[in-house]
Structure 1
């Protein structure tokens, strides 16, 4: 096949994310209300802060706000995870980061499939937080074996989706008709099914072990359990949700409100109680299942290893106080107080090496003709106005926050004493590929921007010399 006929992975990802959004909106009507709320808050924020709008336009982030969303799924077997990696590869999404949620009593470990290069993120930053159930954390050996047997009998991908993945891997791409068919077939994996694949007794046993275990094992496939729009003011969204008839979780996960947002802040509405029919039951009397919810995120500066260490230290000092996590009294006040120790202006954050920044030539830099600027220290170029530094947006996740979202939507009593059971090697083996280190991804992005500045200045000097 002529490679020129192939549809770019970014375009396939965009088609997929839009189709997923439409499907989830039809399945969970409150998601539509949430999207409208976020759009209203974003518009008001941009009207109120023209400088923010200008910065977003300058960094190509403005147009992507409406596209910005992430999803989350939970898989049951290594084969499912490996095939999901191949499915996401069709859309240019790679596994970044390893997250052990067992430390917070959630029996999964996870990665995030997402685009990694700036140009691909700018076109569509859609990402999917993907968790793999850890059956070894089920204490009841009989139940563990039964869960494994149930999962081994299901196939979560359509035959045609698998065939199109193989076509992509064999030829290097998909044409327009194949891309559209791939999206239609791939979305079926994420669709909600109200019929359980287990009987009521088995469901109750799985649910008693952990609600998330029941969610993964009891259904035909890994229904998308939430999609997440990106807001520019999560505090305003949190305050407005009740006014729109949306029951918000009690606290926003992540760092406190800041002048310079960092990492990721998340909130959600409470999980829906949805009717299901159990296998083998002839009566129309349905049971219920609680798993799917709505989430909102606000993304800020990606932190360096040094910055992340300080963040983790400050967060732990608040969450560990009294052992209550984010449920403790006056949590928000205590969190804000602790984070007074974290610099809150970009100049300090950058100079102290706490965050990652993208360097670009200013108009003054582009007009510069003096030789030698290309070898000047980057700090000197920023100080002289030849170069500007813009925060690199954090594209990944925070395990403590993810666990907090999970727990708030699983009934509030789901903490299990799993301790820390990180098993990255086992996860990578199941995945069938290494996961990228998120810090290295940001380091590379920052380094590419520095190289681009240097090259532009060298070219400018050569033109001047000629």
Structure 2
């Protein structure tokens, strides 16, 4: 079969993310309310800020805003992670970054499956934050063995999903009929199941060890636990959520509100308490409840360089050391005040971020630059070209995640103030062995995107020697 007969991975990704959104909206109606709220606020922000709108148009980012989603799943055993990588590869999604959440009291380590090149990101930047349970962090050896035995019995992928993944790998893609079947079969892995695979007693023991452990181990599959639309004004969303009957978490995770947003800010509504049935003597099972699924919203800012991330991490650590916020929200105002005060040390204008090399930018030739093409000094620097008005410098959007923020969302929506003190045991090598591949370095990807834009700009200007 010729490659022309295959459905492009970007299209399969769009088909899947759309089907996932429809499924989650049906399962969690508040998600639909959240989508409407985010859409309303995005339109208000674009109407009020023509500079922002023009920048998004220039960088081809405007059309992706309404499409943009990220989801999250939690896996229980290495084989699940290995096959999940294969499944996402069919959709043009690759593992980027390694996140050790055990340092924040959550017994998982993670990666983000996402598209990595500019064209694919513009078509559909769907991401899935994927965590693998670290069973070795369960202190009770007997409980750990029991959890391993429970997980060993389950298969989270349908036989047809695995068959279609194999065909995509063997043939180099899927035709239209196969792609549609693949989306339908893959969706089953992420569907909610109200029937647990264990007794209420076993669930409670795992729950007492850590709520997230119970969520991973006790069900047929890794139900998608949230889908996240992207907003252009997360503070407005946070304020407006109660007006739509949605109860937000106490604080927005990540950096404070800024004129020039950096990295990622996230908030969510409280996780739903849902009825489930545990294995028991009654044929229908023993009724109980489980808390796992919630709604989340994100605002994405500019990607930071290694130096920028170092400054961000230092400032955030100092805030978290000074003020602790419980899941119930005590000290939330003190935390937000401390956050704003300490982050005053982080430059809040794009030109300073660019000149001090704290963030990544995408460069493009201005109209004046096109008029000067072929007449520009070959030894000129990027900074000089920007100063002369020959180049635009637009923020490169941060496409990834923040481990402290992810842990904060997890803990808040598990409804707990508990802070497990796992020793720092970051183990990327073990994670990548389970994955069956190396994770990409997100900073290297951003640097490559920036350099590619410089190379293209210099070519347009008729400059053969590239100067970073």
Confirm or deny a common fold (TM above 0.5).
yes
Q: Are 1:293 and 2:297 counterparts?
A: no
Question: What is the Cα deviation at residue 242 of structure 1?
Answer: 0.5
What are structure 2's unaligned runs of at least 5 residues? none
What are structure 1's unaligned runs of at least 5 residues? 462-466
Question: What is the Cα deviation at residue 322 of structure 1?
Answer: 5.0
SS of structure 2 residue aligned to 1:427 = helix
Report the counterpart of residue 197 of structure 2 in structure 1: 197
| Cα distance between partner residues in 2 of 1:125 and 1:280 | 43
4+ long deviations beyond 6 Å? none
Which aligned pairs between 1:381-400 and structure 2 lie closer than 5 A?
381-400=385-404
Q: Which moved more, 1:328-337 or 1:143-152?
A: 328-337
Which aligned pairs between 1:35-46 and structure 2 lie closer than 5 A?
35-46=35-46
Report the counterpart of residue 53 of structure 1 in structure 2: 53
Q: Are 1:101 and 2:69 counterparts?
A: no
Aligned counterpart in structure 1 of residue 413 of structure 2, from 409, 415, 429: 409
Q: Are 1:309 and 2:310 counterparts?
A: yes
1:254–1:265 Cα contact (<8 Å) kept: yes
The Cα offsets for residues 433-452 of structure 1, whole Å up to 9 and x where unpaired, read as 00011100101110111111
Alignment CA distance shift 1:367-1:223 (3 Å)? same
| Cα distance between partner residues in 1 of 2:163 and 2:365 | 46
Question: What is the Cα deviation at residue 412 of structure 1?
Answer: 2.1
Report the counterpart of residue 24 of structure 2 in structure 1: 24
CA RMSD of aligned residues (A): 1.5
2:373–2:462 Cα contact (<8 Å) kept: no
Report the counterpart of residue 252 of structure 2 in structure 1: 252
SS of structure 1 residue aligned to 2:296 = strand
Which aligned pairs between 1:49-448 and structure 2 lie closer than 5 A?
49-282=49-282, 286-322=287-323, 328=331, 330-448=334-452
SS of structure 1 residue aligned to 2:448 = helix
1:360–1:387 Cα contact (<8 Å) kept: yes
Alignment CA distance shift 1:327-1:460 (3 Å)? same
Alignment CA distance shift 1:349-1:457 (3 Å)? same
Q: Which moved more, 1:47-56 or 1:279-288?
A: 279-288
Report the counterpart of residue 10 of structure 2 in structure 1: 10
Question: What is the Cα deviation at residue 369 of structure 1?
Answer: 3.8
1:190–1:224 Cα contact (<8 Å) kept: yes
Normalised TM-score (structure 1): 0.97
The Cα offsets for residues 98-122 of structure 1, whole Å up to 9 and x where unpaired, read as 0000011100000000001111100
Alignment CA distance shift 1:162-1:384 (3 Å)? same
Report the counterpart of residue 464 of structure 1 in structure 2: none
| Cα distance between partner residues in 2 of 1:280 and 1:294 | 31
Question: What is the Cα deviation at residue 280 of structure 1?
Answer: 2.9
| Cα distance between partner residues in 2 of 1:84 and 1:336 | 39
1:304–1:439 Cα contact (<8 Å) kept: yes
2:6–2:174 Cα contact (<8 Å) kept: yes
Question: What is the Cα deviation at residue 290 of structure 1?
Answer: 0.2
| Cα distance between partner residues in 2 of 1:374 and 1:46 | 38
Question: What is the Cα deviation at residue 328 of structure 1?
Answer: 3.7
Normalised TM-score (structure 2): 0.96
| Cα distance between partner residues in 2 of 1:229 and 1:281 | 42
| Cα distance between partner residues in 2 of 1:209 and 1:447 | 47
